[in-house]
Amino acid sequence: MRNGAPIGAVLVDWQMEEMVREGRITGGIRRKDDIQPCSFDLRVGNKMWETAGILDLGDGFKTKDFMNYAYNAYDEKALMHGYILTRGAYFVQLDINLKLGADEWGFVNPKSSSGRIDLHCIALAEGSTSFNTIPHGYHGRVSSLVIPQSIIVALYKSVALVQLRIFRGERAFLSNCELRRLHASHSLIDNSDIQPVIEDDHFLIRANLRDNPSNLVVTGTRRPLKLKAKRSVDPRIYFRVKELDSQGALWLEPGEFALIGSIEKIRIPHHVCAEMVPFSDRQGEFRSHYAGFFDRGFGYGRNGEAPGNTVVCEVRNQASVPIRIAHGQLIARFRFEYLQYEPDLVYGEGGQVSHYARQSSGIALAKFFVPWTAPSAPAEL
């Protein structure tokens, strides 16, 4: 126990810094930009191939076997100038090399900037039988499958598409009782008019279709989005507001992708972190959130001084028929866990300034875009 709280398995910023100094994390690491309070970014390396698709990992991932299904290799020169990714799957080497201890392992998630443009990223580690999982004691490179699903993108070397959490020992998740106690002491949501929904050791959030904009769906433009852009792209090229029905609900067609904000303004206190996890089909035939890591200090600050943040969910209709999403419908769930130690950094503070650190209302778009201007946002007729 640490200050009355269990010790978890998630490594924090200064522990990852130690691993860098020890040569156990090497590659194109930009410490100030890449190391977060409870995770760090993995950047695109020098090589990429087009592939036949997503293969099974039954016998463990092997790069040499995977190359039998790869073609059209692209080198550093192509990636330096930006290579256009259309529909299909691309196998990308990441600029990272790991030397984990026997009791250390990792899990990879897409960054928010990837998830919010429907860019599906799947991490692969040599010998792993699970996607997005870095095995215990892993020594080697990490790669990623990159799959544009709604928006054509221009991919560049050194762009960060995914992020890694490293664990050491046994993970310690918060139970229903612990979540309720934490909310009572630290206010996990910054909403005075509602109570949190806590069940099955998870923290649930609800769809907000009364914000402005209420939702954003993709336009289907063929114009490539440059992944090196920063707060400079007009979002109306790629997104539009979809009209709600007469009762204020959103209908999504089969396969349609949408961004929807949460009613809850989430806060992550100093000694825990959170992850959005796959949503049960009991709540609907949709997939929400491809990006899932939430670091210490999100919507909280260092001492609880920051306002809570809206969570933006990436939602896709997986049914063969249209689905209806209502205001207040359960749409995503969080799993909270304890950290090993307290990080030095706070999400969104100082050198950790994040595009998503202050998203207290509306839908915060990926970092490539200028903010959405609600009054002039186009709506479907």
What lies within 8 Å, CB to CB, of 245 at 6+ separation is: 251, 324
Closest CA to 224 of 81, 85, 43, 90: 85
The tokens describing 148, both together, are 């544009």
Q: Examine residue 213 and say whether the peptide bond preceding it is cis (omega within 30 degrees of 0).
A: yes
Instruction: Please tell me the predicted confidence (pLDDT) of residue 13.
Output: 95
Domain 13-168 shares a fold with domain 176-376: yes
**CATH 3.40.50.300 describes domain 13-168:** no
In angstroms, rounded to a whole number, what is the distance separating the alpha carbons of residues 102 and 190? Answer: 40
At 238-262, the pLDDT tens digits run 999 999 999 999 999 999 999 999 9
Amino acid at the residue 283: Q
Instruction: Please tell me the predicted confidence (pLDDT) of residue 354.
Output: 55
In angstroms, rounded to a whole number, what is the distance separating the alpha carbons of residues 378 and 381? Answer: 9
pLDDT along the chain (381 residues), means of 10: 72 96 91 90 96 90 92 90 94 97 96 95 95 97 96 97 96 97 96 94 96 95 97 97 98 96 95 84 58 89 93 92 96 94 86 53 90 57 29
- Residue 359's H or E segment, with its range, is none
At 275-327, the pLDDT tens digits run 998 765 555 556 665 658 999 999 999 999 999 999 999 999 988 999 999 99
At 167-192, the pLDDT tens digits run 999 999 999 999 999 999 999 999 99
The tokens describing 13, both together, are 């910023």
The tokens describing 142, both together, are 């990490």
In angstroms, rounded to a whole number, what is the distance separating the alpha carbons of residues 268 and 308? Answer: 9
The tokens describing 326, both together, are 């209502």
Other residues' Cβ atoms within 10 Å of the Cβ of residue 360:
13
Residue 41 contacts residue 33 (beta carbons within 8 Å): yes
The tokens describing 134, both together, are 């870095």
Q: Say what the pTM is.
A: 0.91
Instruction: Please tell me the predicted confidence (pLDDT) of residue 379.
Output: 41
In angstroms, rounded to a whole number, what is the distance separating the alpha carbons of residues 59 and 77? Answer: 34
Architecture of domain 176-376: Distorted Sandwich (2.70)
Q: What is the three-state SS of 300-334?
A: CCCCCCCCCEEEEEEEEECCCCCEEECCCCEEEEE
Amino acid at the residue 373: T
What is the arrangement of strands in the sheet containing 83-85, beginning at the earlier edge strand?
83-85, 153-155, 225-226
Closest CA to 309 of 250, 241, 355, 376: 355
In the chain, where the domains are located: 13-168, 176-376
Per DSSP, 281 falls in state G
Q: What is residue 199's three-state secondary structure?
A: strand
In angstroms, rounded to a whole number, what is the distance separating the alpha carbons of residues 140 and 120? Answer: 23
CA distance readout (Å), 34 to 144, 161, 279, 345? 17, 11, 28, 12
What lies within 8 Å, CB to CB, of 334 at 6+ separation is: 202, 203, 204, 205, 266, 274, 275, 276, 277, 294
CA distance readout (Å), 287 to 158, 209, 257, 292? 29, 17, 9, 13
